[in-house]
Structure 1
Amino acid sequence: MKKETIKQAVAPYMAELTKMADRIYDLAEPGLEEVRSSAILTDYLEKKGFQIERGIAGLPTAFRAVYEQGKGGPSFGFLAEYDALKGIGHACGHHMQGPSVIGAALALRDLCKDQPYKIVIYGTPAEETVGGKIIMKEKGCFQDIDLALMMHAAPNTCVDVRCMALECFYVTFHGVEAHAAMSPHKGKSAFDAALLSFQGIEFMREHVLEDSRMHYTVLDAGGPSNIVPGTAKAEYTLRSYSTDYLEKVIVPRFQDIIKGACLMTGTTCETERSYPFQAKIPCLTLNDLIMENARKFEAPQLAGPREKTGSTDFGNVMYDVPGCCIRTAFVPEGTAAHSQEYLDAGKTERAHEAIRSGSEILAGTCIDMIERPELLKQIKEEFRKRKQEETAKI
């Protein structure tokens, strides 16, 4: 389909979409508290004829919106975040995501009236905190889509090939308090156990794959230095670009390090484990198709995939279905996310243009797959092979 046709389909909605984005920006609701932000998106979608389910997966601010044209066609999943950073506000651009994917969905609906397909928009809260998509996936969400698409504002227009799997542990060590000068022999230092665990991680670094990452910090050191610490708390974050490698190699070795630290100090511990973030299974066919559309719509500041990435709950979705997030430029190259510069740019004309650009690129990508069904078959086949390769690494 011609570029101008898709542009003309997005254009009539832009005033409403940017107004929504600006309202969500002003609300700046943090994860799991996005009550009004979620309502802004669902109320608008309901008025546009989408079937709405609110509060899905036990999350009051999560939602599912569906529009179906005929039967038996592809099911396009659009995912949107809308949580702000607590204490900062929308310094990661999440307020733009819902309006941008809605623009893509409406353009797709208006332009493709004869072919069968389904649009499923998932509102996914709390990406910055608990990872809402992880909880939603565990409750059965995302099983009704053939692929997952997102938009994220960024310093460049690009796609990512990968992200890191992540596991976070909170460990409380229990020892025995004693006077550090007069009766240290009666004490068992919980803080010593924490320090030994840190040393164990340092020695482990040399013997894992080079792209692994391990971080730790002390949450509670136990009190004044003249008392043998009876309690100490530490936080550990473990990462790898391979979910299987993280779960089958790094995590078991970390758990042995914690046990060993307790054994050496005569202490005990309690461990709390967070929701696991999985690594993306990349699909280069889909990435290429999206970037082809980014060039077609003359998106600004085009760039290749980022060499280094962190972790995202979108990885858990992309571990099960092909997916891609188009990052659309709205700040100067090199600008850091979660910064004042991101925050200041959130309601500018460039931010509004990033919303439009994301809508056009995602709509164009889906229309390509409707007009050329072999593309979706190629995407699914590549995903199947790459997942087999991922799970065969260990």
Structure 2
Amino acid sequence: MSAALERWEPDILGLSHAIHADPELSGQEFRAAKRVSRLLRTAGFSFDEPQPRLPASFSARFGTGELVVALCVEYDALPDIGHACGHNVNAASAVGAALALASVADDLGITVKVLGTPAEESRGGKVDLMDDGFFRDVCFAMMAHAAAEDVIGGTSLAMGMWDVLYEGRPAHAAAAPFEGINALDALVVAQTAVALARQQLPTGSIVSLIVTEGGSAVNVIPERTRASVEMRSPSLKDLRVIEERVRRCLDAGALASGCTLKVTPTGNAYAELKQDQYLSEAYRDAMLTRGRAVAFNNEPVASTDMGNVSQMVPSIHPMLGYDVGGAAHHTAEFAAHGSSASADRAVLDGAFGLAMAASAAASDPCQRERLVKG
């Protein structure tokens, strides 16, 4: 596998740099998907029939073994700041692991399945692929995520997202304000209610709300306002509690103002991440041979649709560290480091770690039986 990574190194790093230089938003990663698919075809991967219905996704495989390992390839960027979450590193390390595993697939008796999983930053493309059955034959799933340091074992927060629309009736704000039904009032009441409710939410919960439309002119009573709400919690169970309470806060705005309310979920709810202990330890051991000391830390880190995958099949989602100059995720400063020499080394090391973890599981009779039987 090391030899395979060395052989494919220019292509793997070229893929990382190309995706980094050409950021595409969630659900629109068509060029990234084509780049990955082209490399996989060159390496002898076949593409499943049918393909996923989700735009910018794909399903490819190599080998015919009963132990099916899925490598999840993320490649979406963020508006205005590009790959500020390092998904070019995520994509290239997963593809590198797939190429390494393909070189020993027959020896290990495995099938290497590569899934292009778009829209992680928005609707959660992995959940759509799950719903459409593309994880049904998978025994375990893997990917690594760009970060400032190497960490394994962490969890994530469950997350739900809503679009909120209040509609009232416009009127002249000076001549006849009493004829209007103020949609901005509804949103102010709701936002205030959410702020007050935070104290009683389950521990570790986070509710974020932004106004995306607040009116058109200062002398017109706003007839329409919109907001985006994001709710996070340590588990899906607690998330349902938050959703119920936030919905009551939104209802309060409509009741107080006389407006109508429409709440639309945006994308899929994200489950909390659950990482497989054996695969985590095998990954850590492999990374030690690359000179990387990977820390174990079970603290929740943001939210990911890989959490949903991990609730279905054994999974790992280690954080893959490189020098980001102290920058935080989702900043332009973080994005600037995504094609550095340090990031390139992380891509190759992460690919090796994932491939070796899969190899260890495939070579251990007890683990193999556990994973095949599910």
The residue number in structure 1 matching 2:13 is: 18
Q: Which residue of 2 aligns with 1:390?
A: none
- Are 2:217 and 1:253 aligned? no
Answering whether residue 326 of structure 2 is matched by residue 334 of structure 1, we say: yes
Q: CA deviation at 1:78?
A: 0.5
Q: 1:172 to 1:315 in 2, by over 3 A?
A: same
Question: Does residue 43 of structure 2 align to residue 48 of structure 1?
Answer: yes
Shift of 1:225: 4.4
1:59-104 CA-partner distances (Å, limit 9, x unpaired): 232111111244xx32111001122333333333222333322322
Q: Please give the secondary structure, in 1, of the residue aligned with 2:76.
A: coil
Structure 2 counterpart of 1:14, one-letter code: E
Contact 1:331–1:342 (Cα < 8 Å) also in 2: no
Q: Give the corresponding residue for 1:28.
A: 23
- In the other structure, the counterpart of 1:312 is 304
> 1:9 Cα deviation (Å)?
4.1
Superposed displacement of residue 306, structure 1: 6.9
The alignment-based identity, stated in percent, is 27
Distance 1:21 1:165 in 2: 29
Is the contact made by 1:9 and 1:111 (CA closer than 8 Å) also made in structure 2?
no
Aligned with 1:229 (options 215, 222, 231): 222
Residues 61 and 111, structure 2, Cα contact 8 Å, conserved in 1: yes
Matched, 1:124 2:117: yes
What CA deviation, in whole Å up to 9, does each residue of 1:97-130 have, x standing for no partner? 3332232223223235334221111011222233
Is 2:160 aligned against 1:152? Answer: no
Query: Of residues 347, 364, 374 in structure 1, which corresponds to 2:356?
Result: 364
Q: Which secondary structure state, in structure 2, belongs to the residue aligned with residue 56 of structure 1?
A: coil
CA contact (8 A) 1:293 1:365 kept: yes
CA RMSD of aligned residues (A): 2.6
Distance in 2 between the 1:26 and 1:216 partners?
31
SS at match of 2:47: strand
Cα offset for 1:375? 3.0
CA shift for structure 1 position 284: 4.7
Do 1:54 and 1:62's aligned partners in 2 also have CA atoms closer than 8 Å?
A: no
Shift of the 315–328 alpha-carbon distance from structure 1 to 2, 3 Å rule, reads same
Counterpart selection for 1:38 from 30, 33, 50: 33
CA gap of 1:147–1:177, structure 2 versus 1, over 3 A, is: same
Q: Give the partner amino acid of 2:288.
A: R
- The code of the aligned residue for 2:330 comes to H
Partner residue, 1:84: 77
Match in the other structure for 1:271: 263
Q: What is the letter of the counterpart of residue 358 of structure 1?
A: G
Deviation by residue 1:21-79 (Cα, 9 ceiling, x = unmatched):
22222332333332232122112211222111489332232111111244xx3211100
Deviates more, 1:138-147 or 1:22-31: 22-31
> Equivalent residue of 1:60, what SS?
coil
Task: Report the CA distance shift for 1:341/1:319 in structure 2 as closer, same or farther (over 3 A).
Answer: same
The verdict on how the C-alpha distance between 1:66 and 1:176 changes in structure 2, with shifts beyond 3 A counting, is same
**Alignment partner of 1:60 is 2:55:** yes
**CA shift for structure 1 position 227:** 3.7
Q: 1-side partners of 2:41 and 2:48: how far apart?
A: 10
Structure 2 match to 1:350: 342
Distance 2:87 2:35 in 1: 14
Take 1:162 and 1:365, find their aligned partners in 2: how far apart are those partners? 19
What secondary structure does 1:14 align onto? helix
The one of 178, 185, 190 equivalent to 1:192 is: 185
> Could you state the TM-score of these two structures normalised by the residue count of structure 2?
0.90
Match 1:288 to one of 277, 281, 293: 281
Are the structure 2 counterparts of residues 90 and 215 from structure 1 closer, same or farther at C-alpha, using a change threshold of 3 Å? closer
1:371-386 paired onto structure 2 within 5 Å:
371-375=363-367
Distance (Å, rounded) in 2 between the aligned partners of 1:116 and 1:222? 61
Whether the 8 Å contact between 2:275 and 2:317 is mirrored in structure 1 is no
> 2:137 is aligned with what amino acid?
D
